Amino acid sequence: MKFLNNNKVSLLCAGLLFASTLLVSCDSENNGDSNSESGTAELKVNLDMPLQTMESFGASDAWQCNFIGKNWPSDKRNKIADLLFSKDFDTDGNPKGIGLSLWRFNLGAGSSEQGDASDINDEWRRTECFTTDGVSYNMNKQAGQVWFMKAARERGVEKLLAFANSAPVYLTQNGKAHATIKEFYNLKDGKMPDLADFWANALDKLKTEQGLTIDYVSPFNEPQYEWDGTNQEGSPATNANIYNFVNVLSPKLQSKGVEAQIVVGEAGAYEPLYKTVSGKESRSNQVDYFFGANSAKKISGLSNVKKTISAHSYWQAWPLNEMVSSRQLAASRIQGAGNISLWSSEYCVLESPGTAELPGGAGAGRDLGMSLALWTARIINTDIAVGGVTSWQWWTAISRGDYKDGLIHVDDGASNGAGNSDYCKNDGYIRDSKTLWALGNFSFFVKPGMVRVQIPSVDNATSVNDVMVTAYKDAATKKLVVVAVNISKSAKAYKLNLAGGALTDNKLTPYTTSETLSLKKGTAVDAASFEIPARAVVTYVGSYK
């Protein structure tokens, strides 16, 4: 990813400011150059100052999609798929869904077939595996998840990513899909070639037997954690483990004719990308390890490796100064590594910011309203504008629990969610959320290949409690997309100053997510005088010439 020199200076200056104090504008009247007579801020968008090229917005199928995709009535499954994947408008011009461009498929390890012997307490968090021995494959397994992948493709989702939390249980050291030895990759000695065969065969058979081409392969997930409990599948892995396996997997994919690209990272937070984390030294400094110019373990030259590294946005979303500084540090390290991009590949609420930010003050207790939507939109904006990410991905698309972890929630109509195994296994009620639609303010309109452009009048690093704005252009279609996140409790007046082009008819069409609106199309506004409403996410769409 390449940044303009002035953006590098901006990162440095912002970093120096944060070293002394956090400068967030809590009560500022304007975010931009103020016109003192009218109280209107100038929103300068420069089409000639390109930043990163956007790749995708996504979410994952873990862990609800297998039962829901397999057991639920067809009309309800399709309603959920439309909400997540549809790129269409209704008759009033409102988006039918959020038009995700990437879908994360959890390639299972076989804990489901083990049942209670898997040690994983929650049946919904166990996964089936396409093979029990690496010889015979049953591609009818994971049927519900396969259904959602097909539904995604049918609705035009551009990319499918397969990720794994564990190697298949027939290959693991302890015969389980969770680890038992700290800092030890849960794989039998000498079995990396067999694991690579599993990946290559599974992806090949998904294509030949299910008609599904997987675009990205992510073999390790949050390797910094020990995963020695019974909550879910998982395994630690050192940087050396990852390096060794990628070097085995890449030629296996190539020889099998599988064109999927390997993506590495999936770090549990941003920190392990750019620093040494105490107690996890062998799982730290991943940007330099895998992509550093002088690294002996550089993987960017391998044929099937994508020049991307990913981290999860957990933990470093609060306090706000740490959210910003962690993205600045990650962006700086990415720039130093050269031509690689950064993804944020998972997020839901794990922080405890208090009740002023979120109902209940933390992740527990679902929130279908704007508090979580604005909290999430702020993270998306910061990851894109400060961290420079090219892809942003939510954790679990569907939740049946009373927790802030789903874009769509399902329940029995009498409660906000539950954890018993039969709850919503065969049917239930579907609840969309404002977080779904706020993500849609980005995902529906910011298409793969669009280029983020500079807004010199907005410093997103110091506007995290006020109005944050990003802008994108499609050079082929001459489309302009501006996404504004207004965290504040007051509406803000703006006028657009577009450099490098002229706005057609000087009009922008707003699509608003607020307490009363869900990605609702509004009447076109005059770009010389428009208002961003309080506590709302608004996408403005126009064209230029």
Contacts of 100 (CB under 8 A, 6+ apart): 56, 57, 58, 59, 84, 85, 152, 157, 443
What pLDDT shows up at residue 3?
29
* 224-266 pLDDT tens trace: 999 999 999 999 999 999 999 999 999 999 999 999 999 999 9
Q: Check whether residue 35 and residue 61 sit in a common domain.
A: no
Q: Check whether residue 124 and residue 203 sit in a common domain.
A: yes
CA 256 to chain centre: 29
CATH number at residue 391: 3.20.20.80
Strands 159-163 and 102-106, sheet pairing: parallel
Count CB atoms within 10 A of the CB of residue 413.
Answer: 6
* 172-203 pLDDT tens trace: 999 999 999 999 999 999 999 999 999 999 99
Instruction: From 324, 312, 269, select the one nearest 11 (Cα to Cα).
Output: 324
What pLDDT shows up at residue 466?
97
Instruction: From 163, 169, 171, select the one nearest 107 (Cα to Cα).
Output: 163
Q: Which domain holds residue 10?
A: 5-53+451-543
Backbone φ and ψ for 447, nearest 5 degrees, come out as: -85, 155
Residue reference for tokens 């499918």 = 160
Domain count, the chain: 2
Question: Coil, strand, or helix at residue 284?
Answer: coil
Q: Check whether residue 416 and residue 353 sit in a common domain.
A: yes
Q: How far is CA 277 from CA 267, 283, 293, 332, 545, in A?
A: 12, 8, 21, 18, 49
Task: Name the domain boundary from 408, 443, 478.
Answer: 443
Q: Check whether residue 46 and residue 151 sit in a common domain.
A: no
Q: SS3 for 405-423, per residue? A: CEEEEEECCCCCCCCCCCC
Q: Check whether residue 432 and residue 470 sit in a common domain.
A: no
Question: Is residue 79 within 8 Å of residue 155, measured between CB atoms?
Answer: no
Backbone φ and ψ for 118, nearest 5 degrees, come out as: -70, -20
Instruction: From 540, 441, 444, 391, select the one nearest 99 (Cα to Cα).
Output: 444
Angle, CA 201 vertex, CA 397 and CA 170 arms, to 5°: 80
Q: Which helix (H) or strand (E) holds 467?
A: strand 467-474
Confidence band for 39, pLDDT divided at 50, 70 and 90: confident
What pLDDT shows up at residue 11?
36
Q: Check whether residue 68 and residue 212 sit in a common domain.
A: yes
Across the chain, mean pLDDT equals 94
Report the C-alpha gap between 158 and 87 in whole angstroms: 11
Backbone φ and ψ for 52, nearest 5 degrees, come out as: -85, 155
Q: Check whether residue 496 and residue 415 sit in a common domain.
A: no
Q: Check whether residue 26 and residue 96 sit in a common domain.
A: no
Task: Name the domain boundary from 413, 443, 473.
Answer: 443
Question: Coil, strand, or helix at residue 7?
Answer: helix
Q: Kindly compute the dihedral angle of the four CA atoms of residues 334, 224, 367, 93, in this order, to the nearest 10 degrees.
A: 40
Q: How far is CA 408 from CA 60, 132, 403, 433, 441, in A?
A: 12, 33, 11, 6, 16
Average pLDDT over residues 421-426: 97
Instruction: From 315, 203, 301, 312, select the one nearest 260 (Cα to Cα).
Output: 203
Q: Check whether residue 241 and residue 373 sit in a common domain.
A: yes
Q: Check whether residue 289 and residue 403 sit in a common domain.
A: yes
Report the C-alpha gap between 33 and 193 in whole angstroms: 59
What pLDDT shows up at residue 120?
97
Q: Check whether residue 81 and residue 116 sit in a common domain.
A: yes
Instruction: Report the predicted TM-score, pTM, of the whole model to 2 decimal places.
Output: 0.93
CATH number at residue 26: 2.60.40.1180
What pLDDT shows up at residue 419?
87
Count CB atoms within 10 A of the CB of residue 93.
Answer: 11
Average pLDDT over residues 107-130: 98
Alpha-carbon torsion (336, 340, 344, 346), positive or negative: negative
DSSP one-letter code for 54: P
How many Å from the N-terminal Cα to the C-terminal Cα in the chain? 27
Question: Is residue 79 within 8 Å of residue 87, measured between CB atoms?
Answer: no
Q: Which helix (H) or strand (E) holds 205?
A: helix 192-210
Instruction: From 259, 228, 223, 225, select the one nearest 244 (Cα to Cα).
Output: 223
Task: Name the domain boundary from 443, 476, 505.
Answer: 443
Instruction: From 432, 329, 377, select the one nearest 14 (Cα to Cα).
Output: 329
2, pLDDT greater than 60: no
Instruction: From 75, 78, 84, 56, select the one nearest 406 (Cα to Cα).
Output: 84
* 42-83 pLDDT tens trace: 999 999 999 999 999 999 999 999 999 999 999 999 999 999
CA 404 to chain centre: 15
Q: Residue 63, preceding bond cis, omega within 30 degrees?
A: yes
Q: How far is CA 486 from CA 41, 197, 545, in A?
A: 14, 49, 28
* 432-444 pLDDT tens trace: 999 999 999 999 9
What residue type is assigned to position 261 of the chain? Q
Two tokens, residue 291: 């992509």
* 357-413 pLDDT tens trace: 999 999 999 999 999 999 999 999 999 999 999 999 999 999 999 999 999 999 999
Q: Check whether residue 457 and residue 385 sit in a common domain.
A: no
